[in-house]
A and B are shown apart, each in its own frame.
Chain A
Amino acid sequence: MSVVDDETGVRELAAIAEGVVGRAVRGEQVEAFVLRGGETDVRVYQGDVEHFVSAQSEGIGVRVIVDGRTGFAYAGALTPDAIDEVLAEARDNVQYGTVDEFAGLAEPDGVAVSPQQLWSDELVALPTERKIALATELEQLTLALDSRVRIDDANYSDAWAVTAAATTTGISETSRENGCYVTVAALADDGDETQSGFGYSVGRTPGEIDLDRASGLAAERATRLLGATKPPSGRVTVVLDPMVTASFLSIIGSTLNGEAVVKGRSLFRDRLGESIAASAVTLVDDPTNPLAFAATETDGEGLAARRNVLIDHGVLSQFTHSSYSARRAGTVSTGNAVRGSFATTPGVGAMALALEPGSRDQEALIADLDGAVLIQSVTGLHSGVNPISGDFSAGASGLLIAGGALGSPVREFTIASTLQRMLLDLAEVGSDVEWLPGSAAGVSLVIHDVTVSGV
């Protein structure tokens, strides 16, 4: 990683953001978001570096609001010319926006930022050879676990980002964070059959990377599917593996999105204060939790990130809001403005969802079950789940559960229900919380009455 001159980098970006905001004229609200970031990607295959990507990028997004009309522009460069062009384009785009009485930038709300340690100097100093070695060792470790295992690729990646946001409403925030992770895609062969398994480990510092865990996950998940058949169709109890739960929670999070609520697109829009889930369900979004992959000090509008309880023992207690959706809903921002990059304006979303854990691990959950299925992975969540209608249908693979123990592997089947029913049919949350890349933590879940479609 090229070394960022940390303090100077932050100050330089802040000066750019403040400079743009300082050019606002009377009657204009202006927001500038400036980002500089970089990444390293090392991919190893059969002991050699397959590719080594070293990249740095920067950019600016400017939002202008005049009399309730919004315009936006961005550029992937921070030269004075590019910045001038972006401000001019954003101003030009204002005239085409429809007047929206709720349009406006966030105002400082007095909520204090809870400081976090999101930057690792140790990671900045990690030599290139060590990055390559991590990927190489990961490949070797995975191969050594089982003679049926081959490797598709083993990867080390790290990324850093420094941002500055400023507004005419008085927000001025900077951030810097970095992190690293390894991934390995294993293939397992048995005759003509090939199955795949994925393993990973994430860290804010290189020391947190756990190669044994990543290799073990990949090898186990690939080999245990060998010989899998299609299960019989029927309504069964499923146990979702933590990685699957994390995807499920991200979808549930999108139904609790305040912008979807005010625009009439959330299936829970009229249910605040009502019971929408089994009493075992307490769902919290807490980006101030340092364990969360997406932990952050501030949201995409520069307001302090905060802990929000969305579902409390089954009762819908709160939606996530940005300042815009909150204004329309007659409430206050929950600090859930999210920004994908400098090229977009902030939307609304959960950042660090987690279920309140139960007291038993996955093995104990399984010990009670018979005729159930452990769902190891799901596919097609983008094509078979509709968070507006609530329909849920996903391709799946996993293991049958018989007599309280894991049995034969199954694949090429679907699991289906509706999001509403799955929340109500959720019987137990495991104790095995693990933070995964993305916006939600994984944990084992037991859900009754899911339709398996196989043979």
Chain B
Amino acid sequence: MIESDVAERVLTTAMGTGGEFAEIYAEDKHSTSVGFDDGRVEQVTSGRDRGAGIRVISGDTTGFAHTADITEAGLLRAAEVAAAAAQRGGPGTAVTSLTATVARTRTIERNPDEVAKRHKVDLLVAADEAARASGRQVVQVSAGYGDSHKQVMVANTDGLWSTDTQTRVLFRINVVADGDTGMQTGYESFGRTAGFEAFESVDVADLARRAAARAITKLGARPAPSGSMPVVIRQGTGGVLFHEACGHGLEADHIAKGASVYRGKVGELVASPLVTLVDDGTMGDEWGTLSIDDEGHPTQRNVLIEDGVLTDYMYDYLRARNEQRRPSGNGRRQSYRHLPMVRMTNTFVLDGHDDPDDIISSTEQGVYVSMLGGGSVNTASGDFVFGMTEAYLIENGSVTEPLREGNLIGNGPQVLRDIDMLGNDFAMGSPGTCGKDGQGVPVGTGQPTLRVKSLTVGGTAA
């Protein structure tokens, strides 16, 4: 994309106003998406995004500019703008030599750019048929396919020169069922950091049937209860609880500004001793997996909480530099148009020892959540919410009636302490998009079946 001698000249220009650090992040991304709705292929969309973002750090100030023009002239113009934005003192000089090379390419078998669009369309046709065949109650189906294939290059004045190829494929389906008490919806998705071969390991028709079954089941759902009660969360779906309850609060930028309930708590017991929480960007072909982060550093496995004790925070380049430590591979950005910041990758809780059936049978009254939706957190207060999109009552130790949708609310540190049973059935969950400061990045979550002894369920029933 950009030759190393061009990158060196651009970085030299970027340092022209006395900066201490400069970086080029360049990407060239091809994407294809297919939208299927109302029984029709609405359209196939092809996209191309190419450009570079240039960052200059001077003292506590970061200057940033980006450009879609990645010729040397275009890059030099952006470098001057970024340098001016970060300017503090007089002109400076710095000579950059790119020597520390990190070159990664994940092995993919089928580059989606080379797969006929017809095959992508066929996935959705099959899913639509399977969903509609699931029951008379199914009245509407929308499904989507998306892939992206991205070349990435990062160069900085520490001499780092990193390249990577990042490929992702995604499938989603949303089913509407109609009954006497109105409409209900069911959703399923599948995403991998991989090529089109990922669809050999999953049957989209199965996902479609699951989504349809979820919508149909909820037609008979009663209003969710309100008030505090024990909540059991099924394997694989509850990782979002940890993402919100503590993941964001362990991002070093929130810590540095004192905007996290977990500031100053390293070495302290912050969760039930059952809990070991890991953020791992290297994990297989999970949705949040990356070879290098968006600052060119290799991703790694970071243990954040071990047996309930807070062991470390997550860092990007800037926050690590301020604390004279190594980045943890958590510097990420939505695109070349965005500044990197501290972000999670795949965040999950390791297995415990409980049999998942015992967790339910030992719960007298409560709620069993078999699928969670999204969530959000106020890192300063620790209050967080997350939605239940498929849930049931637990009565006398058994899962009984389905419940309508609603949010659950809790306070992060309290909920982490209130986890009193942890299963031995670990699973990763559905692909997610984590939003922070206006930027969305792909993330994974996972966890075994677990119980929180008290959470506030936000339904309408007494």
| Residues on A facing B (Cβ under 8 Å) | 45, 48-59, 63, 70-77, 82, 85-86, 89-90, 92-93, 96-98, 100, 150, 152-153, 187, 193-196, 225, 230, 233, 263-265, 267, 343-345, 379-380, 382-384, 386, 388-391, 393-395, 397, 411-418, 451-455
Query: Which range holds the interface residue count of chain B?
Result: 35 or more
| A-B residue pairs in contact (CB < 8 Å), sample of 9 | A73-B48, A76-B50, A98-B39, A98-B42, A388-B184, A389-B404, A412-B410, A414-B458, A417-B460
B409 and A395 within 8 A (CB): yes
**Whole-angstrom distance from the CB of A198 to the nearest CB of chain B?**
10
Contacts A263-B37, A389-B184 given; does A53 touch B339 at CB 8 Å: yes
Tell whether A383 pairs with B140 under 8 Å between CB atoms, given A412-B411, A417-B460. Answer: no
CB pair B185 A395 closer than 8 Å: no
By a CB distance below 8 angstroms, the chain B residues around A58 are 68
| CB–CB B49/A75 < 8 A | yes
Chain A residues lying within 8 Å of B59, measured Cβ to Cβ, are 48
Residue of A nearest to B183 (CB): A388
Instruction: From the candidates B69, B182, B184, B226, name the one contacting A453 in the complex (CB within 8 A).
Output: B226
Q: Given the interface contacts A230-B456, A379-B378, A393-B224, does A265 sit within 8 Å of B184 by beta carbon? A: no
Task: Knowing A50-B62, A75-B47, A100-B40, say if A196 contacts B378 (CB, 8 Å).
Answer: yes
Asked if A411 meets B383 with Cβ closer than 8 Å, knowing A196-B378, A380-B407, the reply is: yes
Are B458's CB and A73's CB within 8 A?
Answer: no
From A52, A86, A415, B63 is in contact (CB under 8 Å) with A52
Q: Is the CB of A394 within 8 A of B385?
A: yes
Alpha-carbon gap, A92 to B47, bound state (A)? 13
Interchain CB contact under 8 A, B176 and A265: yes
Q: Using A53-B339, A85-B48, A267-B182 as known contacts, say yes or no to A194 and B381 having CB atoms under 8 A apart.
A: yes
> Does B259 contact A152, Cβ atoms closer than 8 Å?
yes
Q: Top 4 nearest A-B pairs by Cβ distance?
A: A414-B458, A383-B387, A384-B407, A380-B385
Chain A residue with the shortest CB-CB distance to B457: A453
Q: Chain B residues with Cβ under 8 A from A413's Cβ?
A: 409, 456, 458
Residues of B367-394 whose CB lies within 8 A of A? 373-376, 378, 380-381, 383-387
- CB-based contact B376/A379 at 8 Å: yes
Is B380 within 8 A of A57, CB to CB? no
Instruction: Select which of A51, A70, A196, A344 is within 8 A of B62 by beta carbon.
Output: A51
Residues of chain B contacted by A393 (CB below 8 angstroms):
224, 387, 405-407, 458-460
Which residue on chain B has the smallest CB distance to residue A395? B385
Q: A51-B64, A54-B63, A264-B139 are in contact. List 18 more A-B contacts (CB 8 A).
A: A45-B60, A56-B66, A63-B43, A90-B46, A92-B46, A93-B45, A96-B41, A152-B380, A380-B376, A380-B385, A383-B386, A389-B184, A395-B376, A395-B407, A412-B383, A412-B411, A416-B226, A418-B460
CB distance from B297 to the nearest CB of A (A): 20
Q: Is the CB of B337 within 8 A of A391?
A: no
Do B183 and A394 touch across chains, with their CB atoms under 8 A apart? no
Q: Is the CB of A380 within 8 A of B42?
A: no
The reply to whether A411 and B381 contact each other, CB–CB distance below 8 Å, is: yes
State A452–B404 Cα separation when bound (angstroms). 16
B-side contacts of A96, CB under 8 Å: 34, 41, 44, 117-118, 121
Shortest beta-carbon distance, A30 to chain B, in Å? 14
B24 within 8 A of A: no
On whether the beta carbons of B43 and A93 are closer than 8 Å, the reply is yes
When distances are taken between beta carbons in the complex, the residues of chain A under 8 Å from B424 are: none
Cβ of B261 and Cβ of A384 under 8 Å apart?
Answer: no
- CB-CB under 8 A from A389, the residues of chain B are 182-185, 218, 404-405
- Closest B residue to A414 by beta carbon equals B458
Asked if B325 is an interface residue, CB under 8 A from chain A, the answer is: no
Query: For residue A153, which residue of chain B has the nearest CB?
Result: B257
B380 touches A187 (CB 8 A): yes
Contact present for B459 and A451 (CB under 8 Å) = yes
The residue among B40, B51, B374, B387 with the most chain A CB atoms within 10 A of its own CB is: B387
Selected from B42, B61, B183, the residue in CB contact (under 8 A) with A267 is B183
Contact A416 B406 (CB under 8 A): yes
Residue of A nearest to B225 (CB): A453
- State which of B38, B139, B259, B387 has its C-beta within 8 Å of the C-beta of A384: B387
Q: Which residues of B contact A193 (CB under 8 A)?
A: 381
Residues of chain A lying within 8 A (CB to CB) of residue B409: 380, 395, 412-414, 453
Interchain CB contact under 8 A, A394 and B46? no
Once bound together, how far apart are the Cα atoms of A390 and B118, in whole Å? 36
Known: A45-B257, A52-B62. A386 touches B185 (CB 8 A): yes
